[in-house]
């Protein structure tokens, strides 16, 4: 197991955002977390990445507990993520965004930076080369000098993935990677996700509303509703699970039907 | 070889114009060295050469050559003819360093520090206390060791650097884990605390000599005076010190510039910008927020501390009002005016605001004074109003500053 | 903003009943009175305890009796300071609650209020009306004038210097507010020097009656410790109390208050629900500014001498009070203000007594506020009454 979250619970005041959720991810898998808006999916990601501290429960990653680690320390351990509502560094260039993602891997000490030693320049050059490779991987190599805020929407999503991959994570958390995309773009994103695993060997957990995508690429699907895990299994199992269908009633029917998105959920 | 080719390929007209401009302003300046309005203007045009060089697309080596001729030769020589302008230039240098330091905090990392001058005060008092008999009042048993010899000045520079950085970390630790706006208030308070302490710590132990301030502060040794005499340059002691401090400040400006640029073009600079842009995304990408913020704070504080030391030695006298809020504000105005995060912008901002403070306002006041206007119109007394207006107008109409940072340019210059 | 109970659907019905309204208004007032009494007892206990401990090291003076003889007056002093900070702190807290923005210029709004009062009194004096002017109408007219001028000024600054920066990075409106603060300081300085009031404006106000003696104690060495309050300070406290009750009523029991709370909770949703967000934000500035102006008028009348820079330090301390109580929380601002007032009064009066005059208390009283601010931010950043709110991701 790469990631094991045991009995996670997170409360906001009186609201139980995540309720006693146990969640496991095997190395090399693509796992989806689905559920209606407000089910606690993003909160769950925030727990895994250390942005929120759980009231209860433990998370073990690659055999070591993540208790009391700050988000940056967790990122350094190898969990990286993208955000539901794209959070790029808007006034930095595309290349710089990826370079920031590389931060945990850059080691050169302060004095070498101040003196700009050969070792520092070498590390910087290597980092830039690797960043360019990553940009090429997601198809943004030509736009490395653009400011992130000037990229079209689809490119911003891809840049977020490149940035998240820059720290060479073991586990990549994608929060609605195809939200707001047209079918063409969604297909491309799906291919990108599969290539990430195949070529870079990263384990992927994604939150997604597009059921076609979820059903086609996930080896395991976890369903959250009102903070609790209500089902877990393969695509076929989930498709016919009565509790899942019930949870989705009123929001659209399973499968192949995307829930309405105009009121984007604020899963906090 | 490569530079030469570039040099030859560039437009000769541009080289001719810039060289002519530099020669013209320098000649005019040396021709009319008396302090008056005309020389003020020529002086500004003369300094403008640097800006023109920065903006031009000429070869780097040429830019460097002309700048060093102007700052290293023409200006100091002019200083021997007229002490006022070299003093202004020295102050410009001091404020350039301070503004660059504050820019690390405000511009790079996006942390609003309103008590920046406190670190400047720390450095100034540090040297003032130890280079005068004041230190003997703190440790009466050792009073025979003080004041320290002038040579200690150079040893105190790294010491002031460390003390400043330590103060920055101490202040930053409790506050930097909180939201940015608290930092503004706490630093504002901290600035006041330092000033109040400086005013009141003459009891129970006399550390700062209270409101009277400390006078006869030690200066660095004039070790080169004999050489100058041997070369036949007969300069008075005050002229020597003036040039001395000018060059010390110039060296500091150079060092600061290099350090700040190196930091900015590294993982640390990128981490700062990322924090400024989006803290949550930055920390999720593995950027340690508190550590990076503390580093920004410490870097800014250490620059301020060292400059405080230089300032104290140059002025020979310091007292608590030297370090009041308005000085923090004026340094902030330099950063905002030039452009937060933009190194050339901040240098320009520091130059303009210092010229405004030391040349323009007194000059206007003098001219107005001849018109028999009521005394309350004296513009030198309305610094707060001027800086206030500057801050409001800049934030509303041009929040990126007059010389904004250009990120795309950064991409092009790759080693 | 967090005014005791933010409505849930059940409570909205009950809210309309008179009993609920009264409870909503007076509960915080009772809480504050209780809090004042507790603070007095606690701080008095501490200084007496310290006096007993330190008695041995101060053989030349009778420390305990010297502490006791000034204690009643220190308490009154603390109370007056406390109400001053509380009234100014409300302006910071309201604006912060709605916009999450520290309005640096609020201290200057307070200062302008003080000068409005001074101006009114000086004009009356100039035309010879001041002498016979009855105290209460004078107070009311000054207050209304001060509230009007400061409220409008706050409204104007929001409109000119803050509104268009609402979506800018957080740093930018802060800098603009700092600019407004500095501009107002010197603008006022220019006005007072030009009109001959002078930088230090001293002015006379109608006679407000004799000090009111509350209690008298006989301390162990036979001296009398008198607890009395002069009428200007008493006016200050009464007026501040009335305003606090009024504000509480406005925010917790009226439709307008509900709109303010809605905007504070979520600006975007509030606008979807038909609340005119710009109007509500303007209103917040107006109310906060008016309260600050009133505090300024009362402060000026009490101390009699003001200058254009009084807003800076008082504003800073009031902000500390707001943070101390939990920024964004109205009751918290009052509690924080009062606590800070007491602490300052005690430090100012007792520090030099306990240290044999080595540390001048009055000079270090100012530092107290910032030390408290830093301590609070380390140990309880949400303030005394604040809730830790999770950041939105």
Q: For residue A26, what pLDDT is reported? A: 92
Smallest CA–CA distance from A164 into chain B, residue: B285
**Residue B234 Cα to chain centre, angstroms:** 30
Of all residues in chain B, the one with the smallest CA distance to C378 is B174
Give the CATH number, domain containing residue A25. 3.40.50.300
Q: Work out the average pLDDT over B391-400.
A: 90
Contacts 24+ apart (CB under 8 A), B245-249: B245/B90, B245/B310, B245/B313, B245/B314, B246/B75, B246/B76, B246/B79, B246/B86, B246/B89, B246/B90, B246/B93, B247/B76, B248/B220, B248/B310, B249/B90, B249/B93, B249/B94, B249/B97, B249/B310
Under 8 Å between Cβ of A89 and B275: no
| Cis preceding-peptide flag for B204 (omega within 30 of 0) | yes
**Assigned token pair, C376:** 């609070």
Distance CA B389, CA C211 (A): 45
Based on the number of CB atoms within 10 Å of its own CB, is B142 exposed (0-12), middle (13-18) or buried (19 or more)?
Answer: exposed
Best C11, C386, C393 member to test A by mutation, with max A CBs in 10 Å, is C393
Straight-line distance from the first to the last Cα atom of chain B, in angstroms, rounded to the nearest whole number: 17
Assess contact for C238 and C143: CB atoms under 8 A.
no
* CA pair distance A179, A192, nearest whole angstrom: 15
Q: What is the mean pLDDT of residues B6-23?
A: 77
Reduced to 3 states, what is the DSSP secondary structure of residue B327?
helix
DSSP lists the bridge partners of residue A31 as: A205, A220
Query: Are the Cβ atoms of B410 and A144 closer than 8 angstroms?
Result: no
Confirm if C346 and C340 have CB atoms less than 8 A apart. Answer: no
Chain C residues with beta carbon closer than 8 angstroms to that of A52 = 390
DSSP state of C240: H
Nearest-Cα distance to chain B for C187, in Å, is 7
Q: Where are the beta strands (DSSP E) in B90-223?
A: none
- A70 and B295 within 8 Å at the Cβ level: the answer is no
Partners of A206 in the β-ladder: A32, A174
Is residue C315 within 8 A of residue C95, CB to CB? The reply is: no
* Residue B97 distance to chain C (closest CA, Å): 21
Cβ neighbours of B119 (radius 10 Å): 36
Q: In this model, does residue B267 exceed pLDDT 90? A: yes
Q: In terms of pLDDT, which residue wins out, C59 or B294?
A: B294
Q: Which CATH class is domain C24-51+68-379?
A: mainly alpha
CA distance C367 to C373: 10
Distance from the Cα of B109 to chain C's closest Cα (Å) equals 11
Out of A12, A13, A46, whose CB is closest to C393? A46
Residue of C nearest to A268 (CA): C392
CA distances from C318 to B185, C21, C75, C151 (A): 11, 28, 19, 18
Q: C358: which 2 tokens?
A: 């080595």
The pLDDT assigned to A156 comes to 94
Average pLDDT by stretches of 10, chain A with 268 residues: 91 85 92 88 92 91 90 94 93 94 92 93 94 94 91 93 94 92 90 92 92 89 90 88 77 46 38
Specify the pLDDT at position B362.
Answer: 84
Q: Record the tokens describing residue A30, joined without a space.
A: 């693509």
Q: Tell if the CB–CB gap between C393 and A12 is shorter than 8 Å.
A: no
Q: Which two tokens stand for residue A177?
A: 């990677």
Cα separation of A221 and C36, whole Å?
58
Mean pLDDT of B262-287: 94
What is the Cα–Cα distance from B22 to B3, expressed in whole angstroms? Answer: 22
pLDDT at C18: 66
Contacting residues of B for C165, CB less than 8 Å apart:
395-396, 399
The label of the residue with tokens 């008298």 reads C216
**Spatial distance between the Cα atoms of B285 and B288, rounded to a whole number of angstroms:** 9
The Cα–Cα gap between C342 and C345 comes to 5
Supply the pLDDT for residue A259: 44
Q: What residues of A are in contact with residue B408 (Cβ under 8 Å)?
A: 93, 145, 147
pLDDT at B412: 42
Pairing of strands A203-207, A171-175: parallel
For residue range A159-168, list pLDDT tens digits in order: 999 999 999 9
- Contact predicate A88/A156, CB 8 Å: yes
pLDDT, tens digit, for every residue of B58-102?
888 888 999 999 999 899 988 888 888 999 999 999 999 999 999
What is chain C's Cα-based Rg? 22
Q: Are residues C392 and A268, on separate chains, in Cβ contact within 8 Å?
A: yes
Instruction: Find, in chain A, the residue whose alpha carbon is nearest to that of B408.
Output: A145
> What is the least distance, in Å, from the CA of C387 to any CA of chain A?
10
Residue B326 at interface with chain A, using a CB cutoff of 8 Å: no
Interface contact B141, partner A, CB < 8 A: no
In a domain, A135, yes or no: no
- The torsion angles phi and psi of A14, rounded to 5 degrees, stand at -90, -10
B232 Rama class: left (phi>0) / alpha (psi -120 to 50) / beta: left
Beta-carbon neighbour count of residue C258 at 10 Å?
Answer: 17
Confidence grade of residue B392 (pLDDT, cut at 50, 70, 90): very high
Considering only the C-alpha atoms of chain C, give the largest distance between any 2 of them, rounded to a whole number of Å.
Answer: 72
Residue B281, chain A, CB below 8 Å: the answer is yes
Please give the residue of chain C at the shortest CA–CA distance from B105: C171
Which residues face B111 on adjacent strands?
none
Alpha carbon of A190: minimum distance to chain B alpha carbons (Å): 23
ipTM above 0.90, yes or no: no
pLDDT per position as a tens digit, B333-387: 999 999 999 999 999 999 999 999 888 888 888 887 777 777 677 777 788 888 9
Chain C residues in contact with A51 by the CB 8 A cut-off are 391, 393
pLDDT given at position B4: 52
Q: Is residue A245 part of a domain?
A: yes
Number of Cβ pairs < 8 A linking chain B and chain C: 136
Say if CB C184 and CB C156 are below 8 A apart: no
What pLDDT, on the 0 to 100 scale, is given for residue B116? 93
Comparing CA positions, the residue from B304, B267, B378, B389 lying closest to residue B125 is: B304
Contact C369 B112 (CB under 8 A): no
Reading the block at residue B384, the tokens are: 């707060």
Minimum CA–CA partner of A90 in chain C: C169
- Number of domains chain A is built from: 1
Structural domain containing residue A181: 1-78+169-268
Indicate the helix (H) or strand (E) that contains A214.
helix A211-217
Direct distance between the N- and C-terminal alpha carbons of chain A, in angstroms, rounded to an integer? 28
C381: CB partners within 8 A, 6+ apart: B178, B182, C388
Of C319, C355, C359, the CB nearest to B185: C319
Least CB-CB distance to B184: which of C174, C180, C359? C174
| Best mutation target, A103, A107, A108, A141, to test chain B (most B CBs within 10 A) | A103
Contact call for residues B61 and B7 (beta carbons, < 8 A): yes
Instruction: State whether B388 and C184 contact (CB < 8 Å).
Output: yes
Q: Which of C102, C161, C194 sits opposite B185 (nearest CB)?
A: C102
Contact B355, B88 (CB under 8 A): yes
Please check the confidence at residue B181 and state whether its pLDDT lies above 60. Answer: yes
Which chains are adjacent to chain A, needing at least 3 Cβ pairs under 8 Å?
B, C
Q: Which chain A positions have a beta carbon within 8 Å of B411's beta carbon?
A: 93, 95, 144-145
C-beta atoms of C391 and B110 within 8 A:
no
pLDDT at C72: 85
- pLDDT < 50 regions, chain C: 1-11, 13-14, 388-393
Nearest-CB residue to B286 (from A103, A110, A128): A103
| Interface contact C377-B174, CB threshold 8 A | yes
Q: Are C177 and C323 in contact (CB under 8 A)?
A: no
pTM comes to: 0.88
Instruction: Look at residue A146 and tell me if it is in a domain.
Output: no
Q: What is the rounded CA–CA span in Å between residue A242 and residue A230?
A: 10
> Is there a contact between A71 and B411 if contact means CB atoms under 8 Å apart?
no
The residue of chain A nearest to residue C391, with distances taken between CA atoms, is A268
Q: What is the pLDDT of residues B301-315, one digit of tens each?
A: 999 999 999 999 999
Cα distance between residue C339 and residue B352, in whole Å: 45
Mean pLDDT across chain B: 87
* Residue A113 and residue B268 in contact, taking contact as beta carbons nearer than 8 Å: yes
Asked whether residue B9 carries a pLDDT value surpassing 60, the answer given is: no
Give the CB-side neighbour count of residue B72, counting CA atoms within 13 A: 9
C168: distance to nearest CA of chain A, Å?
13
Give contacts of A12 with chain C, Cβ < 8 Å. Answer: 390
Which residues from A are below 8 Å from C393, CB to CB? Answer: 42, 46, 51, 83, 268
| CA dist., res. B142 & res. B136, Å (int) | 6
pLDDT of the residue at C51: 84
Which residue on chain B is closest to A88 by alpha carbon? B281
CB distance A89–B289 less than 8 Å?
no
Average pLDDT (B312-322) is 93
A142-175 confidence digits (pLDDT tens): 999 999 999 999 999 999 999 999 999 999 999 9
pLDDT given for residue C4 in this prediction: 43
Query: C62 is written with which tokens?
Result: 């009778």
Under 8 Å CB-to-CB from A147, ≥6 apart: which residues?
A90, A91, A92, A93, A94, B407, B408
β-strand partners of A11: A16
- The per-residue pLDDT for B2 is 53
All residues of chain C having their beta carbon less than 8 Å from the beta carbon of residue B276 are 169
DSSP string, B209-276: -GGG-B-S------TTHHHHHHTT----HHHHHHHHHHHHHHHHHHHHHHHHHHHHTSHHHHHHHHHH
Which residues is A79 bridged to in the sheet? A171
Residue of C nearest to A10 (CA): C390
Are B388 and C323 in contact (CB < 8 Å)?
A: no
* CB C365, CB C74: distance < 8 Å: no
Phi, psi of B72 (to 5 degrees): -95, -20
Q: Where are the domains of chain B?
A: 1-81, 86-337
Is omega for the bond preceding A118 within 30 degrees of 0, making it cis?
no
Pairwise CA distance, residues A265 & A248, whole Å: 15
Other beta carbons within 10 Å of C225: 17
- CB-CB: which of A42, A52, A83 is closest to C390? A52
Residue A15: HSE in the Cβ half-sphere, 13 Å Cα cutoff: 11
User: ∠ CA B8-B14-B15 to the nearest 5 degrees?
Assistant: 60
Specify the 3-state DSSP secondary structure of C196: coil
């Amino acid at each position: 197991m790469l990631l094991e979250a045991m009995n996670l619970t997170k409360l906001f005041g009186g609201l139980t955002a995540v309720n006693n959720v146990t969640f496991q991810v095997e190395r090399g898998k693509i796992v989806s977390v689905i559920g209606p808006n407000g089910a606690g999916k993003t909160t769950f990601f925030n727990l895994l990445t250390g942005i929120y501290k759980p009231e209860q429960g433990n998370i073990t990653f690659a055999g070591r507990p993540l208790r009391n680690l700050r988000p940056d320390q967790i990122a350094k351990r190898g969990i990286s993520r993208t955000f539901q509502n794209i959070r790029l560094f808007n006034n930095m260039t595309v290349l710089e965004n990826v370079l920031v993602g590389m931060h945990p891997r850059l080691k050169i000490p302060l004095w070498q930076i101040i003196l700009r030693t050969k070792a520092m320049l070498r590390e910087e050059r290597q980092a830039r080369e690797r960043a360019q490779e990553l940009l090429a991987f997601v198809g943004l190599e030509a736009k490395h000098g653009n400011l992130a805020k000037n990229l079209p929407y689809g490119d911003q999503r891809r840049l977020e993935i490149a940035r998240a991959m820059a720290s060479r994570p073991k586990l990549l958390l994608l929060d609605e990677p195809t939200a707001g995309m047209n079918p063409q773009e969604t297909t491309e994103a799906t291919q990108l996700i599969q290539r990430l695993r195949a070529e870079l060997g990263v384990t992927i957990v994604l939150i997604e509303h597009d059921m076609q995508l979820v059903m086609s690429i996930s080896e395991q699907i976890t369903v959250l509703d009102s903070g609790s895990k209500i089902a877990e299994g393969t695509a076929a199992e989930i498709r016919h699970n009565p509790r899942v269908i019930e949870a989705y009633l009123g929001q659209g029917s399973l499968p192949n039907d995307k829930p309405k998105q105009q009121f984007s959920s604020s899963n906090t | 070889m490569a530079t030469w080719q570039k040099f030859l390929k560039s437009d000769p007209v541009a080289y001719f114009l810039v060289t002519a401009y530099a020669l013209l302003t320098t000649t005019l300046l040396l021709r009319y060295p008396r302090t008056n309005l005309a020389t003020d203007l020529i002086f500004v045009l003369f300094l403008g050469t640097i800006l023109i060089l920065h903006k031009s697309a000429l070869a780097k080596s040429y830019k460097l050559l002309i700048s060093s001729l102007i700052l290293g030769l023409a200006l100091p020589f002019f200083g021997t003819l007229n002490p006022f302008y070299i003093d202004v230039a020295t102050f410009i240098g001091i404020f350039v360093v301070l503004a660059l330091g504050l820019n690390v905090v405000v511009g790079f990392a996006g942390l609003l520090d309103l008590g920046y001058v406190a670190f400047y005060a720390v450095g100034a008092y540090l040297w003032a206390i130890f280079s005068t008999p004041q230190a003997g009042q703190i440790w009466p048993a050792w009073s025979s060791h003080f004041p320290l010899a002038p040579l200690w000045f150079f040893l105190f520079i790294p010491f002031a650097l460390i003390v400043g950085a330590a103060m920055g970390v101490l202040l930053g630790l409790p506050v930097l884990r909180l939201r940015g706006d608290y930092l503004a208030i706490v630093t504002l308070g901290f600035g006041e605390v330092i000033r109040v302490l400086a005013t009141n710590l003459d009891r129970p132990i006399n550390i700062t000599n209270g409101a009277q301030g400390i006078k006869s502060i030690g200066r660095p040794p004039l070790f080169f005076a004999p050489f100058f005499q041997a070369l036949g340059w007969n300069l008075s002691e005050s002229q020597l010190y003036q040039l001395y401090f000018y060059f010390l400040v110039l060296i500091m400006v150079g060092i600061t510039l290099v350090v700040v640029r190196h930091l900015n073009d590294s993982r640390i600079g990128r981490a700062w910008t990322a924090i400024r842009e989006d803290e949550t995304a930055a920390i999720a990408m593995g950027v340690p927020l508190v550590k990076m913020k503390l580093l920004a704070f410490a870097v800014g504080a250490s620059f301020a501390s060292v400059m405080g030391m230089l300032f104290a030695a140059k002025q020979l006298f310091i007292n608590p009002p030297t370090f009041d809020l308005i000085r923090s504000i004026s340094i902030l105005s330099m950063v905002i005016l030039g452009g937060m995060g933009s190194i050339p912008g901040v240098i320009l901002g520091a130059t303009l605001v210092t010229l405004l403070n030391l040349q323009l306002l007194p000059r206007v006041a003098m001219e107005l004074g001849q018109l028999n206007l009521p005394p309350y119109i004296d513009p030198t007394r309305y610094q707060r109003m001027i800086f206030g207006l500057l801050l409001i107008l800049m934030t509303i109409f041009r929040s990126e500053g007059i010389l904004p940072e250009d990120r795309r340019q950064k991409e092009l210059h790759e080693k | 903003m967090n005014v005791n109970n933010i409505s849930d659907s059940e409570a909205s019905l009950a809210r309309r009943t008179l009993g609920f309204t009264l409870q909503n208004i007076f509960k915080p007032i009772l809480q504050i009175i209780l809090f004042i009494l507790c603070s007095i007892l606690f701080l008095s206990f501490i200084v007496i305890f310290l006096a007993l401990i330190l008695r041995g090291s101060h053989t030349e003076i009778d420390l305990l009796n010297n502490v006791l003889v000034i204690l009643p007056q220190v308490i009154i002093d603390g109370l007056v300071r406390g109400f001053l900070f509380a009234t100014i702190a409300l302006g910071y807290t309201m604006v912060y609650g709605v916009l999450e923005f520290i309005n640096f210029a609020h201290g200057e709004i307070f200062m302008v209020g003080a000068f409005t009062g001074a101006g009114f009194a000086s004009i009356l004096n100039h035309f010879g009306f001041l002498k016979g002017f009855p105290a209460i109408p004078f107070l009311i007219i000054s207050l209304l004038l001060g509230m009007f001028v400061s409220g409008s000024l706050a409204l104007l600054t929001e409109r000119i210097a803050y509104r268009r920066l609402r979506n800018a990075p957080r740093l930018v409106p802060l800098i603009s507010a700092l600019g407004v603060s500095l501009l107002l300081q010197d603008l006022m300085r220019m006005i007072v020097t030009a009109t001959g009031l002078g930088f230090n404006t001293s002015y006379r106000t109608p006679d407000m009656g004799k000090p009111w003696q509350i209690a008298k104690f006989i301390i162990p060495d036979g001296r009398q410790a008198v607890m009395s309050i002069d009428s200007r300070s008493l006016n200050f406290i009464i007026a501040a109390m009335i305003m606090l009750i009024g504000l509480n009523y406005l925010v917790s029991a009226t439709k307008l208050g509900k709109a303010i709370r809605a905007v504070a909770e979520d600006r975007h949703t509030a606008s979807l629900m038909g609340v005119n967000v710009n109007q509500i934000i303007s209103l917040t500035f107006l109310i906060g500014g008016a309260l600050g102006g009133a505090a300024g008028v009362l402060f000026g009348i009490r101390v009699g001498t003001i200058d254009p820079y009084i807003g800076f330090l008082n504003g800073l301390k009031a902000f500390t009070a707001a943070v101390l109580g939990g920024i964004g929380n109205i009751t918290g601002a009052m509690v924080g203000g009062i606590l800070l007032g007491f602490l300052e009064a005690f430090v100012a009066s007792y520090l030099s007594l306990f240290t044999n005059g080595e540390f001048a208390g009055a000079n270090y009283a100012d530092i107290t506020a910032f030390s408290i601010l830093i301590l609070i931010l380390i140990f309880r950043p949400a303030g005394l009454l604040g809730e830790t709110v999770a950041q939105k991701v």
